[in-house]
Amino acid sequence: MKTGILLTNLGTPDEPTKPALKRYLAEFLSDPRVVDPPNKLIWWLALNLVILNIRPKKSAVNYAKIWNSLGPGSPLLNITQSQLEGVQQVLSKQYSNLEFELGMRYGNPSISSALNKLRDKGCSKVIILPLYPQYSKTTTLSTLDAIDLELESWPSKPEIVFIEHYYQNKAYIQALNNSIKEYQAEHGKPDKLLISFHGIPQRYVDNGDIYYQHCMQTADLLAKSLDLQDDEWQASFQSIFGREEWTKPYTKDTLESLAKSGIENVQVVCPGFSADCLETLEEIDDENRGYFMQAGGKGFGYIPALNARNDHIDAIASVISDHL
């Protein structure tokens, strides 16, 4: 009896071009878990007549900035593949009859293709870990939607173990702690550590999404593990899209406010991103660095995501092994 291990992440375009970004964004922004507008018809018209004719070109330029920066092609895909290989090495030493696959919620390789590969390998049980430490309907539940949709047509279904979160896992928090201390050992300590998470519409939180709570608990656990005082750190939310209110405070506004208030040196860490990607490499380390420096800041440091660090690989493996 074989057990399949499926790691998933958000996804990536196939290449940094306008046509590839149009395909990717069409799939991403058509997901009702991601965008759940009050008026679906107006959103459909806006998406297909305006957004998908304007945004792909701008997004392609931003992706081109980071493409091939961490190996060939997409940083997110390269890193996630390295994570899968690392987890395979760790778990294969402890357990037999395991098979491993990678699937992206949007783009390639798809979750559907990964599940079919595991079925072809004879897996009667599949353990699925979305690499989102904090649960959200926009990410975690959307992943489950894709799994359910694929399995609907299967005459015989494997046993599915779906891991919803690991936002307070001790090994995960310790890996974050290690990465920050290692960075600061080389670059010094900042006046303020900014802990930035991807935002979601505040309306989603008001309607019951527990993502904000998970983010704040992760930030608090991380700050405590670092023995930080309340005035030495702050949590914020990035990657705002559209006109409605999102979870606050916003990372951009926070950085500008800190600089104007006399904070000269900040470092930013993004615990919600298991792998470096557009939102960290371009948005934080480039765009938001500029906001802080233009507002009067003197020093800005981006602390890389956990990526394929050994302690992160061990943390992911420990989360999975709890279900083996």
pLDDT digits (tens, 9 = 90+) for 162-195: 999 999 999 999 999 999 999 999 999 999 999 9
Q: 9 is written with which tokens?
A: 């992440």
Instruction: Report how far apart the first and last C-alpha atoms of the chain are (Å, whole number).
Output: 13
Mean pLDDT of the chain: 97
> Which residues sit opposite 5 in a β-bridge?
100, 127
**pLDDT band with cut points at 50, 70 and 90 for residue 242:** confident
DSSP letter at 130? E
Q: How confident is the model at residue 90 (pLDDT cuts 50, 70, 90)?
A: very high
What pLDDT does residue 171 have? 98
The whole-number pLDDT of residue 142 equals 98
> Is the pLDDT score of 243 beyond 90?
no
Domains 2-166+310-321 and 170-303 share a fold: yes
The CATH topology of domain 2-166+310-321 is Rossmann fold (3.40.50)
The rounded percent of the chain whose pLDDT value lies above 70 is 100
Across 260-268, average pLDDT: 98
3-state secondary structure 5-19: EEEEEEEECCCCCHH
Torsions phi, psi for 265 (to 5 deg):
-125, 125
Q: Give the H or E element holding residue 112.
A: helix 111-120
pLDDT tens, residue by residue, 209-222: 999 999 999 999 99
| In the chain, domain spans | 2-166+310-321, 170-303
Percent of the chain with pLDDT over 90: 98
- Reduce the DSSP state of residue 210 to 3 states and report it: coil
SS3 115: helix
The rounded distance, in Å, linking the Cα atoms of 72 and 296 is 36
Beta strands in the chain (DSSP E): 2-12, 98-107, 123-130, 159-162, 192-198, 233-238, 265-269, 299-303
**DSSP string over 247-302:** SSSBHHHHHHHHHHTT--EEEEE-TT-SS--IIIIIIIIIIIHHHHHHTT--EEEE
Q: Identify which of 187, 21, 38 has the alpha carbon closest to the alpha carbon of residue 107.
A: 21
Mean pLDDT, residues 113-140 taken together: 98
Helix (H), strand (E) at residue 52: helix 52-66
pLDDT at 88 (0 to 100): 98
- Best CA proximity match to 131, nearest among 43, 228, 5: 5
Query: Buried b vs exposed e over 127-155: b needs ≥16 C-beta within 10 Å?
Result: bbbbbbbbbbbbbbebbbbbbeebeeeee
Q: Give the pLDDT confidence score for residue 20 in this predicted structure.
A: 98
**80 within 8 A of 74, measured Cβ to Cβ:** no
Backbone angles phi, psi at 40, to 5 degrees: -70, -30
- Global pTM reads 0.96
Average the pLDDT over 78-96 and give the result: 97
Q: Is 170-303 assigned to CATH 3.40.50.1400? A: yes
Q: What's the average model confidence in pLDDT over 223-244?
A: 96
Q: CA-to-CA distance for 128 and 126, rounded, in angstroms?
A: 6
